[in-house]
Structure 1
Amino acid sequence: MKRFLIICSLIIFVFGCGSSAKSFRSDPPNAEPIPNSKIGEYQSFLLDNGLRVFVVEDHKLPKVSMQLFVDYFPVLEKDAAGLQAITGSLIKAGTEKRSKDDIDREIDFIGASFNTNSRGFYASALSKHVDKLFELSSDVLLNPIFPQDELLKLKKQMISELEAEKEDPEAISSKVGRALCFGKDHPYGEIITEKSVKNITREKCAGFYSDHFNPHSSYLIIVGDITKEEAIPLAQKYFGGWKDFTLSEEMPKKTNSPLGIQISFVEKKESVQSVITVIYPVDLKPWDKDLIKTRVMNFILGGGGFSSRLFKNLREDKGYTYSIGSNLIEDRFVGNFIVEASVRNSVTSDAILQILSEMKNIKLKNIPSKELVNIINQMTGNFTLMLEDPKVVGRFALTIARFNLPKDYYSTYVEKLNKITAKDIKDAAQKYLNPDDTHILVVGDESVVDELCKIDSDGKIDVLRSADYGL
């Protein structure tokens, strides 16, 4: 009898838990009120050469980090695509008085981290080594020699990575998707190939650096155990000698939005999955008044992970994919909307139809108030958690300066976020979601092509040659 009661109890427990779990997933509890958040302050100063410096004090740990960001226009690399990435890595490969080994040894000696890229550098160390960190960073930034032997290593590494990408459906989708969205003759869409990498020379790297690394268009963000009064003489000593010059830049060409649903296909023989990319350009600037509305709208659609409609539909309800997400990206020149997912071959067409359906639904129907409240609470919580990292305050300062945003843009962000209405979401969706005018790229097995033709606006699929995309 006792054994029988135990078994019954276990049955009730298992089924009860299952029911509770299901109820919890479909009907999440209301979020607790978000406590008031206070954004850390930053200070700034300007060097005579035009370099703008921001200082965010944080004395909790004896550590200082620096980021230098060079803000030049997007550059079309043409027959030397890959030049910016290689130049960014090569900057750290040696200076007039230090070899690459010398730089690495000195960084290790003070326990620092230091990396360069095509837009500048990031460095951090204990605050007792801050003078050495400034001196090293300055020497690397201002006196690179672009050694030929290191250039050959970087080119070989990049070519090896390109070879690996040819077997990676997601890498193929990313590369071809950008080209479809922006065009191969646009900086955001041009293709890096083995041939273009081979065209990169030491002279081209040095030329790119001298043409684009300019103090007047750069920002230095210093965060950590340091005050503005301590930062000023260090910045003047180590970066004040960086010579300014007039920067000559070209606006990127205008991109054209697709008319109708245009499906493109890249064959990946015997693939068991289709990689789907829904993508098109959008005119959304970092300073647009719609920006916060679009972020909430995208969070609801596909940017909110487990909370998003795309995830609930294609993952939880239908089990088509392990992961799916969307992003609506703002940009000074041209942004883009994108949905990405990998699904089983047999459900490729229906997965696309479900994605387009979710895009249409959010355009046509008002979001229920409970869903909107939960999403805004979640986004408010995420924003509040971000503020625990003082480097975020530095990034806020950079964004405000780059795009001439109001000084209180982020301090009033939560207030603006919590004023978003269902109408705002619908308006943003109607303006920026284009399910009837979009590129759709599928990378996978040819067995899925016939069904895709039924979705394409003109019933014809553009079968793309891998060789045209360096694949």
Structure 2
Amino acid sequence: MKYGKYILAACFIFVLFSCASKKYNLEELQSKKLKSYAPPQAHVVTLKNGLQCFFLEDHTLPVVRAYALVKAGTLQDPQDKVGLSEITSALLDYGGAGNLGPSEVDKRKDTLGIELNSSAGKEFSSVSLHALSEDLHPALELFLDTLFQPQLNAKRLQTIKKNLLEELKREKDNPQTFVEREFSALLFGRDNPWVRQANAKSVATISQKDVRAFHQKAFVPSQMMLAVSGDFHEEEVVDMLQRYFDRLPAFSEAEALPQPAPLELAFQAETKHLARPLTQSFIRMGHLGIKRSNPDKYALLLLNYILGGGGFSSRLMADIRVKRGLAYGISSEFSPQTDYGDFTISVATKSSSTNEVIERVKQHLEVIVEEGVTEHELALAKDALLNQLIFAFDAPEKIVKHEVIYAFYGYPKNYLEIYKDEIGKVTTEKIKKVAEKYLHPEALKILILGPKMSEQ
């Protein structure tokens, strides 16, 4: 028996090397069809103050989640106070609420085991709650006070501004974060509302008065949507909401918040090299993309999956990492937004192979424009995108949150079914047409962060 462990080890090594030596062909890959899945739909109620509420009861676990979407984000920051919405969101978390000061709110969260978080995105801000259902009343009260009666404590404001400035400094030392920000500036223009970033000067000008004014304009029930999911009863929550708002002074009519000027769609090749003493080159390549309302987005999602969005099954990964060993990872992404979004390819490679990687990417773009994709590639991409859907709707809070965001974007209630149908209808001919129309390998913006070319 003393040799048993050696025999087992030898067998394990044999099996390991046998598996490692086997080569897999992309054409041999098969995917399983997903069974039909239709998530439950939320019940929508609009309160008399205009707050649109989405309710989805699920009594499996004794937890309740709430999610409030506010129709204002970084796009609404004044030009000289970029960072205002982000600072406002952070202050909702830490600046006190209702009749509780900042420290008292912190203690209440800890006592009840509540998770309460705020964030600001480009087009909207949000506040989320996670609590035990037995604590529904105090948890929801604190959640609503955070939204509608925040104290916005001045001392906490200074702490948040200081932390934000430190975070901005650290981002400059992170190559991945820095190259993403600089590439966005190259694509859209540094001061464009879609990509502009807070800086020391803009943060310094933001006062408590500015935060209060922004909150008063943006956090109005008629400009918000609320999702509640989990172990609760709709009638009880509606009653709590009505009684809460009845105690508050009437909200002023929602003011029109500033909107960014429309983007101009233009394509012009440009390469920018930012020299840094790094061992790798961090590369971003791309150009402007499409609007969220573009009906060709379904075909572009599939095209992108085949090109570089599908991990190891994508062309870029199979060639540049697996075949040539030029990078650990490479990906592509079409990111639609209300105005023109972007198409971006991201990769990091050793500095000596920078030019080779860039040329290989260009060649792949040219080939997919000229030749399109195969039926097998398209079938795999369709199955992958449709199979991934279930993970976006596998919990009540995900389902109701998606419904809120879809409503914000103006999608129809049956958007999930539309999405599945549109993905299913895409053909290889359609893929080739959208590749010819929306990919511009001759007009790429290229940003390289790494050693000087002479040092490579």
Contact in 2 for aligned 1:76/1:185 (Cα 8 Å)? no
Candidates 261, 265, 269, aligned match of 1:261: 269
Candidates 153, 177, 180, aligned match of 1:147: 153
Q: Structure 1 CA distance, aligned partners of 2:112 and 2:31?
A: 45
1:454 is aligned to none
RMSD: 2.5
Candidates 393, 396, 407, aligned match of 1:390: 396
CA distances 1:381-436 after superposition (whole Å, capped 9, x unpaired): 11123321222211331133223322211134333322221122222222322222
2:85 is aligned to 84
Candidates 125, 136, 144, aligned match of 2:131: 125
1:113 is aligned to 115
2:351 is aligned to 345
Q: Structure 2 CA distance, aligned partners of 1:19 and 1:26?
A: 16
CA distances 1:33-89 after superposition (whole Å, capped 9, x unpaired): 221112222110001111110012222111110010011362243232222211110
1:280: how far off? Answer: 2.4
Candidates 250, 275, 283, aligned match of 2:282: 275
Candidates 316, 321, 324, aligned match of 2:327: 321
Change (3 A) 1:15 1:134: closer
Helix, strand or coil: the match of 2:50?
Answer: coil
**1:162 has 2:168 as partner:** yes
Contact in 2 for aligned 1:294/1:425 (Cα 8 Å)? yes
Contact in 2 for aligned 1:94/1:100 (Cα 8 Å)? yes
User: 2:89 is matched by which residue type in structure 1?
Assistant: G
2:363 is aligned to 357
CA distances 1:367-386 after superposition (whole Å, capped 9, x unpaired): 11111111211222111233
Q: Structure 2 CA distance, aligned partners of 1:161 and 1:394?
A: 32
Helix, strand or coil: the match of 2:441?
Answer: coil
User: 2:285 is matched by which residue type in structure 1?
Assistant: V
Helix, strand or coil: the match of 2:158?
Answer: helix
Q: Structure 2 CA distance, aligned partners of 1:66 and 1:313?
A: 44
Structure 1 residues 28-37 or 232-241, which shifts more?
232-241
Q: Structure 1 CA distance, aligned partners of 2:98 and 2:279?
A: 53
CA distances 1:304-326 after superposition (whole Å, capped 9, x unpaired): 22222221122111212112211
Contact in 2 for aligned 1:51/1:215 (Cα 8 Å)? yes
Structure 1 residues 149-158 or 405-414, which shifts more?
405-414
Helix, strand or coil: the match of 2:417?
Answer: coil
1:360: how far off? Answer: 2.2
User: 1:102 is matched by which residue type in structure 2?
Assistant: E
Helix, strand or coil: the match of 2:29?
Answer: coil
Contact in 2 for aligned 1:348/1:448 (Cα 8 Å)? no
Change (3 A) 1:57 1:255: same
**1:246 has 2:251 as partner:** no
Contact in 1 for aligned 2:372/2:435 (Cα 8 Å)? no
1:468 is aligned to none
Q: Structure 1 CA distance, aligned partners of 2:321 and 2:209?
A: 50
Structure 1 residues 220-229 or 255-264, which shifts more?
255-264
**1:45 has 2:53 as partner:** no
Helix, strand or coil: the match of 1:418?
Answer: helix
CA distances 1:163-212 after superposition (whole Å, capped 9, x unpaired): 22222222221221111222122212223222222222111111221222
1:17 is aligned to 19
Across the two proteins, how many residue pairs are aligned to each other?
442
CA distances 1:240-271 after superposition (whole Å, capped 9, x unpaired): 64724232233312334454320112121x21
Structure 1 residues 237-246 or 163-172, which shifts more?
237-246
Helix, strand or coil: the match of 1:407?
Answer: coil
Per the normalisation by structure 1, the TM-score is 0.87
Change (3 A) 1:399 1:161: closer
User: 1:85 is matched by which residue type in structure 2?
Assistant: E
Helix, strand or coil: the match of 2:217?
Answer: helix
Q: Structure 1 CA distance, aligned partners of 2:40 and 2:15?
A: 48
User: 1:87 is matched by which residue type in structure 2?
Assistant: T
Helix, strand or coil: the match of 1:436?
Answer: helix
Q: Structure 1 CA distance, aligned partners of 2:11 and 2:126?
A: 64
User: 1:145 is matched by which residue type in structure 2?
Assistant: Q
Q: Structure 2 CA distance, aligned partners of 1:396 and 1:51?
A: 17
Gap regions ≥5 residues in structure 1 = 1-5, 452-471
2:97 is aligned to 95
User: 2:112 is matched by which residue type in structure 1?
Assistant: I
1:462 is aligned to none
Change (3 A) 1:255 1:265: farther
Contact in 2 for aligned 1:180/1:439 (Cα 8 Å)? yes
Contact in 2 for aligned 1:276/1:440 (Cα 8 Å)? yes
Q: Structure 2 CA distance, aligned partners of 1:81 and 1:108?
A: 32
Candidates 375, 378, 381, aligned match of 2:387: 381
Q: Structure 2 CA distance, aligned partners of 1:138 and 1:51?
A: 12
User: 1:296 is matched by which residue type in structure 2?
Assistant: L
